[in-house]
Structure formats: structure tokens, C-alpha cells
Chain A
Amino acid sequence: MSPWERRNRGGLYYTRSRKVAGRVVREYVGTGPLAELAAELDAEERWQREEQRQASREERECMEALEEPIEELCEAAEILAQSALVAAGYRQHNRGEWRKRREKRTEEE
């Protein structure tokens, strides 16, 4: 919705819309040069916010891209370490301590 509202008597009225407790509230700013200045300042603020959002998004994506191979390395190293321990006869007790697995007794014993 355009922030400029055309009045019945003619002329444009600058308005600002914002959400208050989930409802859109419209604030009537005015007409003429003052309203145009307010509109320009609002546009500048919006542009700056958008720039900041974009920069944050890019930074987040960049960090995620850097983290991905490290996460993969961690997961793979953990799997290999656990496999090595299990193959060497250990067993993890309740997802914590590693203990040597008990040898099964033969029937003769």
C-alpha cells in the first residue's frame, strides 16, 4: 500500500503504517514539503535497515560455509574414533565412558 494517500479535496497526504500488538496502525504525517522530507527520511531508514539485513545474511552464510567442512570433519572423526575403539574391544557405557567389553564365557567354563 502506498504511503501517500489521495484526499477527496485533492492533494497527497503522507502516512506511515506500523504494527502495534498485531494490528496495523496508520499514522498521518502531513502534506507539502515537510511530508516529502519525512518520506525521504523514512525511505533512507528503510534502505539502511535493508542494507544491514543483507550484510547480516551474507555474514551468516559465509560463516556457515566456513563451518560446514569443520562439522563434517568432526562427525567423520568421531565415527572413525568410535569404530576404532569398538574394533579394539571397547564399548561405550551410557554414551559416556568407554569400557573394555567382557569376553563371553565358553560353555565348558
Chain B
Amino acid sequence: MRSAQKRSEPETGQPAKTDEESARGRTDTLAELKGLLRRVHEEGDEGALPLLREILDEVPTLARRLMDPAKQAELSMIKSYAGDDLLVRETLPQTLRAMREELGGKDPSPLERLLVERVVATWFSLQYFEAIYAQNIRKLTIQQSEFHQKRIDHAHRRHLSAVRTLAQVRKLLKGRTTVAQINIAEKQINSAS
């Protein structure tokens, strides 16, 4: 039952979770949200909505925590992309930071920040795979070349999807005092529409 699954966050004074527990908690919460979304979308079960809002309400730091593994991947990619080139290694994080700020705009909600992070991560992974392909194009076999092209296509689709979702959320939720924005934000406001 939901009451038995109450999540404890470090900010609430509860003991801090280990990385493994935290990852498991994230996975469980996302699986639960996925199940509720399926109920709403496929079965038209609107009774799932209060529970969905409750979960969003229970995990105010989830959006921020989701960014950590992606940041680690980004650092690894920067290292691999830049190689020994110190200039690239120094300037690339700044470029990505500037991109984040530009896309995030003024005072983005935690959900928007997460979606911006996703756009930046997918954009950079696309650049990374294209660069690797371009660097090795002369020594690749047809099979290897196809493998790289498939990976680039996948990265491209993933990036477009990230941009589309950010645009949708901006268009539909921006400027509204929605339950969704409030539930994901750190500070909870009860007068949501």
C-alpha cells in the first residue's frame, strides 16, 4: 500500500539513503507512475489521478536526483571527446552550461530543469557519436559503419523527442499554477488549480 511505501528524503531529517537504495527508490517510483499513467491512458481510469498526484507530491527531489547519473555520463563523454585537448576539456563544460542556462530561461521549474538537462545530454551524445564516426570513417568496415550510423540515428531521434517534450511542457504548463509544477517543486503550495 502507498502508506507503507512513504519515501524518506534526507531533507526531512530521516537517515540518508545509500546510492543503491536511492536508485531502487527512484526505479520503484517511476514504475509506479508508469503504471498509473497506463491506467489513465489505456483504461481511462481517472481514479488513478489522486494517487498520481500523491506520488508527485511525495518525491520533491526526484527530478534533481535523476540528473546525477546523467551528469556522470556527461563528464565521461567530455573526457573521451576531448582526449588530451585541454582547451576542449575546459571549454566544453562551459558551452553545455551556457546551453542549459539559455534553454532553462528565467526561473525554470524543477521539471523544466530536468527536461532541459535531457535536451543538453541528448544533444551532446549526438555530437559525440557523430564526432567518433567522423574520426574513424576511413578505417571502418561497411558493417561497422552501419553500426555507427544506426547509433547516430537513434541519438538523433532521442534528441528530437527530448526537444518535443520540453516544448510541450512549456506550452501547456508554463505560467499555470498547476498541481504538477507544485508537486515536483521543492516547496509545496496547496492552492493548486
Instruction: Mark A residues whose CB is within 8 Å of B.
Output: 56, 60, 62-63, 65-88, 90-92, 98
Contact = CB atoms under 8 A, between A and B. Distances in A.
A71 B115 CA distance: 13
A78 B111 CA distance: 10
29 contacts: A62-B80, A65-B76, A66-B76, A66-B128, A70-B73, A70-B125, A70-B158, A71-B158, A72-B69, A74-B122, A74-B162, A76-B26, A78-B161, A79-B33, A79-B37, A80-B66, A80-B111, A81-B165, A83-B36, A83-B37, A84-B181, A85-B169, A87-B49, A87-B179, A88-B180, A90-B172, A91-B41, A92-B41, A98-B168
B53 A87 contact: yes
A78, A87, A90: most-surrounded residue (chain B CB, <10 A): A87
A80 B168 CA distance: 13
Given A69-B72, A83-B56, A84-B181, A77 B115 contact: yes
Interface of B: 26, 30, 33-34, 36-37, 40-41, 49, 52-53, 55-56, 62-63, 66-67, 69-70, 72-73, 76-77, 80, 111, 114-115, 117-118, 121-122, 125, 128-129, 132, 144, 147, 151, 158, 161-162, 165, 168-169, 172-173, 176, 178-181, 183-184
Contacts of B33: 79-80, 83
A84 B184 contact: yes
Contacts, number: 121
B56 A87 contact: yes
Contacts of A81: 111, 115, 165, 168-169
